[in-house]
Every structure is written in structure tokens, then in C-alpha cells.
Amino acid sequence: MVIEEPIEEGESLRRLLNRLAERVPQLRETIFDPLTQSISSEMALVINDRVESPFQGLETLLKDGDRILFFPYLAGG
């Protein structure tokens, strides 16, 4: 899924995800839980090609043009 969303200068990742969670049910179900304010432990968060810790990354301040990617961790055998 690709979502393009305008980012307000200085907006936190937490605020952006809360805004998106209101509009995109799939986001709430798989990536970000607005009730617990947490990113799924099964997802890696990448901002502008840099891997962010989901426990520290929510306070990251964003700017116009930032690219945010979520990748599911895969396991197998």
C-alpha cells in the first residue's frame, strides 16, 4: 500500500500516524495502534533510508519530503 500525505513542518511521526490511523483502517490493523500509541513489533520503520527504533522513532520530527516506509519482519525456514 502506498499513501501520500502532506506533512506539516515539525510534525512528529506520532502525530502523522494518528492522523493516518483515523482515515486508513488497514494502518490501524497492521502497523500502528492509536490506543496504545505503538508501532507493531512485527514492523521495521525506515525514515529517509534510515532504520528507526519503534520505541524512540515516534517522536522523530518530520519535514516536507520525508519518506517513511514500513517493512514486515519475515521469518521462515
Instruction: Please check whether residue 48 lies inside any domain of the structure.
Output: yes
Residues 28-56 have pLDDT tens digits of: 888 889 999 988 888 888 888 888 665 45
Q: Which domain holds residue 31?
A: 13-72
Instruction: Please check whether residue 58 lies inside any domain of the structure.
Output: yes
| Tally of domains within the chain | 1
The C-alpha cell that represents 47 in the structure block: 525514515
Query: CA nearest 13: which of 42, 55, 49, 41?
Result: 55
Determine how β-strand 43-47 pairs with β-strand 50-52: antiparallel
Instruction: Please check whether residue 4 lies inside any domain of the structure.
Output: no
Instruction: Please check whether residue 6 lies inside any domain of the structure.
Output: no
Left if phi > 0, otherwise alpha if psi is -120 to 50, otherwise beta: which for 48?
left
Name the helix (H) or strand (E) containing 13.
Answer: helix 13-23
Instruction: Record the pTM.
Output: 0.79
What average pLDDT does the segment 17-32 reach? 89
